Amino acid sequence: MSAHGTPTPMTSSPCGPLQGEAHVPGDKSISHRALLFGAMAVGETRITGLLEGEDVLDTAKAMRAFGAEVRRDADGVWYVHGVGVGGFAEPENVIDCGNSGTGVRLIMGAMATTGISATFTGDASLNKRPMARVTDPITLFGAQAVGRSGGRLPMTIVGAGHPVPVRYEVPVPSAQVKSAVLLAGLNAPGQTVVIEKEATRDHTERMLAGFGAEITTEVTEEGRVITLTGQPELKPQTIVVPRDPSSAAFPVCAALIVPGSDVLVPNIGLNPTRAGLFTTLKEMGADLTYENLREEGGEPVADLRARFSPDLKGIEVDPARAASMIDEYPVLSVVAAFAEGETVMRGVKELRVKESDRIDAMAKGLRLNGIEVDEGEDWWIVKGRGAGNVPGGATCESHLDHRIAMSFMVMGMAAQAPVSVDDGAPIATSFPIFETLMEGLGAKLVKGGA
């Protein structure tokens, strides 16, 4: 079933070389934060390059429901007139975050220390995902949470009218949880401290500093210790959203496995907390280069050039890198199918609580398409067959998960027979132009079956 209740089957058939430039959309993580932090600033934030995918549009709607003015002009520039830290109004209706874990978790954090209540829901995928990881820390600030069994949505959060600051060690490697705690800390007096053992994406820290908050990160024996001084006045910003490395992963990986391909993916943010996939692909022998490496808005940015790589080798992926490529394991597992030998992925338990159980969803689909996979709770091994030797030919379930759908579409481009998914509609949550962009490079995608 799709987010809209109408499944849209999609098929990808073996294609000729992929060639040209792939201009992927804006970064999803940064887009959510630009809207949310803009809504908590005093004055007008201007955003260009915002990802206009369903997830981010749901966050824009939510910010309006909490009292911020959010508008888009005809040129695609977004403006957010914020209500200030602690200034959220109580929404009149249920907040529907659709498919977005980032949206719901960050918004819950941001409203948890304001004296209002809000009820959150989502689609069938989001309503299965664990929220206790956010409600546990926000109750320490004084908020209350009542949801369905197992800490699932729909859920009502009663914000703390008189919040206290918190020191919290994040028990799972999750930028969403870290960010929810920091956002709750924004409206608490004094200093909120968040400790993470493994570094996760640091967009919240970077952007809050940009908005004028006092926030520091120290690397100690405990891990990364992030200290935020509460109740700042956030200053509106002009934000240029970089292009999303997690979306770039699809044309890059497709180019590596489709014979004769040569694709340029310009302007990709290479923040070290996000770029683990590209390091991993190079270790596998990918012909992937960074051109025009530069710095933009304090972040490393490059144009990625990916060429067909016939001699990919399976590797043991460094588990220390997991957080920096957590969204990319599904498409990596497809590349691994086209490599010689085993690709071993460990320390990836978090994959089981994404938009779907991504180890299970990919393992089932890969097996249906002729690839052997072994798996355990926090690891999986893909047994590669080498370039040109992946059978394909099956229909896989996408489980309301955009990255599962796109990964199998990439597989179909280089397999011996077409690969289908039961529902490609979720792709619109993060990469609404996926089909046109990939077809522009030479992919053969058909909606509604082969």
Residues with Cβ < 8 Å from 113, sequence gap 6 or more? 86, 138, 141, 142, 143, 159, 160, 163, 184, 185, 186, 187, 188
Fill in the amino acid letter for 365.
G
Check if the beta carbon of residue 331 is closer than 8 Å to that of residue 303: no
Q: Which of the stretches 16-24, 175-183, 329-337, 407-415 binds ligand S3P when contact is defined by CB under 6 A?
A: 175-183
Is 29 a binding residue for ligand S3P by CB under 6 A? The answer is: yes
- Please report how close the Cβ of residue 235 comes to ligand S3P at its closest, in angstroms: 22
Q: Which of the stretches 168-176, 221-229, 230-238, 418-426 binds ligand S3P when contact is defined by CB under 6 A?
A: 168-176
> Could you list the active site residues?
327
Report the distance separating Cα 186 and Cα 162, nearest Å: 13
Check if the beta carbon of residue 356 is closer than 8 Å to that of residue 301: no
Report the distance separating Cα 450 and Cα 444, nearest Å: 10
Is 179 a binding residue for ligand S3P by CB under 6 A? The answer is: yes
Size of the site for ligand S3P (CB under 6 A): 10
Beta strands (DSSP E) in 18-113 are: 19-21, 42-48, 69-72, 78-83, 95-96
Pick the closer one to ligand S3P by CB: 205 or 327: 327
- Please report how close the Cβ of residue 350 comes to ligand S3P at its closest, in angstroms: 5
Task: Judge residue 249's burial from the number of C-beta atoms within 10 Å of its C-beta, 0-12 exposed, 13-18 middle, 19 or more buried.
Answer: buried
Q: Look at strands 395-396 and 419-421 and give their pairing.
A: parallel
Report the distance separating Cα 40 and Cα 35, nearest Å: 9
Residues with Cβ < 8 Å from 176, sequence gap 6 or more? 101, 102, 105, 106, 133, 134
- Please report how close the Cβ of residue 327 comes to ligand S3P at its closest, in angstroms: 5
Residues 336-365 within binding reach of ligand S3P (CB under 6 A) = 350
Residues 61-120 within binding reach of ligand S3P (CB under 6 A) = 102
- Please report how close the Cβ of residue 369 comes to ligand S3P at its closest, in angstroms: 25
Is 176 a binding residue for ligand S3P by CB under 6 A? The answer is: yes
Pick the closer one to ligand S3P by CB: 184 or 264: 184
User: Using CB under 6 A, which of 112, 326, 394, 437 touches ligand S3P?
Assistant: 326
Pick the closer one to ligand S3P by CB: 128 or 201: 201
Q: Which of the stretches 39-47, 108-116, 169-177, 410-418 binds ligand S3P when contact is defined by CB under 6 A?
A: 169-177
Give contact residues for ligand S3P (rule: CB under 6 A). Answer: 29, 102, 174-176, 179, 201, 326-327, 350
